[in-house]
Chain A
Amino acid sequence: MSDVEIKSEDKFTFANYWPSLVIVGAIFSLISFVVGLFFGYQQINSEPAGSFFSPFMLSSGVICLLTAFAGMVTVWHYTKEISPFLKLGQGAALGFLTGAVITVLSVILSELWVMLFDPEYTEKILQSMIANIEAMDMPSSTREDMIDAMADSMDTQQSFFRQIFWGIPVTGLLNLLTALIGVKVFAKKDEETF
C-alpha cells in the first residue's frame, strides 16, 4: 500500500459519517414513524377500556427502545462499510448525530402526515386518550391531573422547531451511549492518541 493510500485511510473526514448517519437515521426514523402511526390509529379506533396499557402508551416505550439502539447500529454500519477502525470520540459523535438525524426526520415525517393525509390526527389521539383515562378506575383528582398532563403534553408537541429543539439533546445522548457500546462490540482496536 502506498503512502498516499495509507494517509487517506487514516485521515478521517466528516463526510465519512454521512452514509451511515443518513441510512441508519432514515431507517430508524421511518420505523419509529410507522410504529407510532400504527399504535396511534390503534388508539384512535379502540374502545376506551380504562387500561393503563393503551396502544399509544405502549408506542412511546417501543419507539424509545428502538431509536435508542440506532447509535449502536450506526457504528455497526460504519465499521462494516467505511472503516473497521473507529475511535471512541468518533463513535460518540456518530451516536449523537444519529439521534439528531432521527429526531429531525421523525418530526418531518409526522408533520407531513398531519399536513397531507390526516389533519385531525393529533386531536383524535388526544380525544381517544382522554376517553381512556376517563374510563380508568382511580380518584377523580388523579384522573384530572392525568388528563391535564396529557393535553399539555400534546399541546407542547405542536411546534415543528420546538419538537426538534427539545428532542435532540436527550435522544442524542441516549444514542451516544449505545454508540459507545457499538464501538466496544464492533470496532477494531486502533492505536488512539487523544
Chain B
Amino acid sequence: MQHVWLYTGILAALIFLVIISLGGGIWGAEQTIGHWTGNLLQGVCHQMPQRSFSVNGVQMAVNTRCFGIFAGLLAGWVMIPFIVRLRAGKNWTLRLLLVTVMLQIADFVGNLIGLWVNTNISRFSLGLLLGFAVSMVISELFKSKNSK
C-alpha cells in the first residue's frame, strides 16, 4: 500500500465526520440544531428531524441518507488496506459506483413522483452502499506499484 500518510489523514477525517454526524446527543446536548455538530453539517444536509435517526433521544446532525454515505465511506476506507491486496478485475469499482449512484437517483425520483415511499432504513442502506462504493473507487489509488 502506498500513500499511507494521506490514507491515515483521511481516515481520521472520516472518523471525525461520522462522530459529528451523530449530533449533539453523544455530547449531552438537548438538541443538535444550534450545536457545533449541527453547525458543521448544516451546509451539506437539510437536517430534517423526520428524516434523521436520533442518538440518546436527540436528532442526529445529518439525515439518514447522508449518515449512510458517511458511514459507508468510513467502512470502505477501513477496508482499503485489505482491498488493495485483492487482485480483482479492472474497473469493477467504477461499475459498482455507477450502480449505487443509479440506485440513489431511482430511489429519490421514485419517492418524489409517488411510485413508492422510502424509509429511513432504506435511505440509510442506499447511502451506505454509495459511500462504500466511493471508497472502493479511491482504494485503487493506494495500491502499491508492484501489486498492480
* A103 interface residue per 8 A CB criterion: yes
**Would you call B49 and A145 a contact (CB within 8 A)?**
yes
B-side interface residues, number (CB < 8 Å): 35
A57-B48, A146-B48, A184-B140 as given contacts; A103 in contact with B43, CB under 8 Å: yes
* B121 interface residue per 8 A CB criterion: no
* A12 interface residue per 8 A CB criterion: no
Q: What is the total of A-B residue contacts with beta carbons within 8 Å? A: 92
B contact residues around A167 at 8 Å (CB): 43
- Distance A64 CA – B83 CA, assembled complex (angstroms): 29
Q: Kindly state the interface size class of chain A when it binds its partner.
A: 35 or more
Which secondary structure dominates where chain A touches chain B? helix
Contact with A along B2-35 (1 / 0, CB 8 A): 1100100010011001000000000000010110
* A174 interface residue per 8 A CB criterion: yes
Contact with B along A125-152 (1 / 0, CB 8 A): 0000000000000100010011011001
* B122 interface residue per 8 A CB criterion: no
A157-B42, A170-B17, A171-B43 as given contacts; A184 in contact with B50, CB under 8 Å: no
- Distance A76 CA – B125 CA, assembled complex (angstroms): 30
Question: What 13 new A-B contacts, CB under 8 Å, besides A177-B73, A180-B141?
Answer: A52-B48, A88-B3, A92-B10, A142-B50, A146-B50, A153-B33, A153-B34, A153-B38, A156-B39, A166-B40, A167-B43, A176-B10, A177-B10
